Amino acid sequence: MNRASLHFLLAALVAIALPLFMRSGTLASEVLIFAMAAAACNLLLGYTGLLSFGQGIFFGLGSYAAGLTLLHTSLPLALALVLSAITGAVVATGVGWLSIRRQGVYFVMLTLAFSQFFYFLAYTFKDITGGDNGLLNIPRPAIGPFSLGESWAYYAFVAVLFLLLFAALQRVASSTFGRTLLAVRDNEERARAIGFPVRNFKITAFAISGAVTGLAGALHALLIGVAPLSNIDYHMSESILIMTIIGGTGNLFASVLGAGFYVIVSDLLSSIWPRWLLLLGGLLIVVALFMQKGLWGLLERLVEALPMGRKSSINSSIESPIQPESEGRGI
């Protein structure tokens, strides 16, 4: 089995295991929704070297697009989701087109500025977005004969979409386009010298990431029946980035691990200790200092430590996009 198939199999196992081990269909759905958002973020961070604080914009706009479509039109759910993905892609193209004109810290600042810009747009146009109160009463219509009202039924729907999107993102990552993104990340000047249209590649990566994140935002709004202002806040971008970094930027499945870990651990810790954010902060420090490949890297080390793991590591290939020593170079 090749590496991509193994990762897809692991993603499918996660989708199968969640209903068996979790008591809440809502929480399980949230894990997969954020797994999609983190995987989309990973396409930018891990594969293209772009540390974007704009992911919250696409997530929030996806929520609003789905909510407004379902509240004010009679379009079916599938079309509302497609519109959310298109909204995410279009806005991401614009944000990407302007942001990638600068590199390094200036790129990060531009995405942060866009994040604030869209937050205040949503806050100001309260007649459309609901402002601080959020966009309320978002329905969760049925898909054909299948009702999505029950939380595990909705989970099944999210799980199918998650697996389809995961496979699609894998396809993108392993395509010539994806390989070129790695080349751009590792040495942008060299890629440009070879003749790659680096700028177009980065904008396309932004658009794909925006589409998937927008769709994740739409699924989130359907999950809770509300598109809250916090969905477009820069804290949302921050959370998605933290999930991506905790999981590891090495491959797309690492983002699934990161999202699952973040959502489930946050839920557990918050019920145990009100100051749980302190623990999360501590964990981030540990990841930054000692686990730069994230949870996936830790998993790799554990498997390699096993007798059989020494012979065949779960990720022994040189094609891994993990390049912790080069982290930050591409931004």
Catalog residues that contact other proteins under the rule CB under 8 A. 2, 4-5, 8-9, 12, 15-16, 19-27, 30, 120, 123, 126, 131-134, 136-137, 151-152, 155-156, 159-160, 163-164, 167, 170-171, 174, 220, 223-226, 228-231, 270-271, 274-277
Provide, rounded to whole angstroms, the least separation between the CB of residue 248 and other proteins. 21
Instruction: Judge whether 170 and 11 are in contact, CB under 8 Å.
Output: no
Nearer residue to other proteins within complex by CB, 12 or 265: 12
Provide, rounded to whole angstroms, the least separation between the CB of residue 331 and other proteins. 26
Residue type, position 228, single letter: P
| CA proximity to 139, closest of 199, 243, 227, 204 | 227
Provide, rounded to whole angstroms, the least separation between the CB of residue 260 and other proteins. 15
Nearer residue to other proteins within complex by CB, 33 or 331: 33
Instruction: Judge whether 67 and 105 are in contact, CB under 8 Å.
Output: no
Nearer residue to other proteins within complex by CB, 16 or 79: 16
Instruction: Judge whether 24 and 31 are in contact, CB under 8 Å.
Output: no
* CA separation for the pair 221, 232 (Å, rounded): 12
Instruction: Judge whether 19 and 200 are in contact, CB under 8 Å.
Output: no
Nearer residue to other proteins within complex by CB, 275 or 311: 275
Nearer residue to other proteins within complex by CB, 10 or 98: 10
Provide, rounded to whole angstroms, the least separation between the CB of residue 199 and other proteins. 28
Provide, rounded to whole angstroms, the least separation between the CB of residue 320 and other proteins. 16
| CA proximity to 252, closest of 69, 9, 54 | 9
| CA proximity to 250, closest of 297, 310, 180 | 297
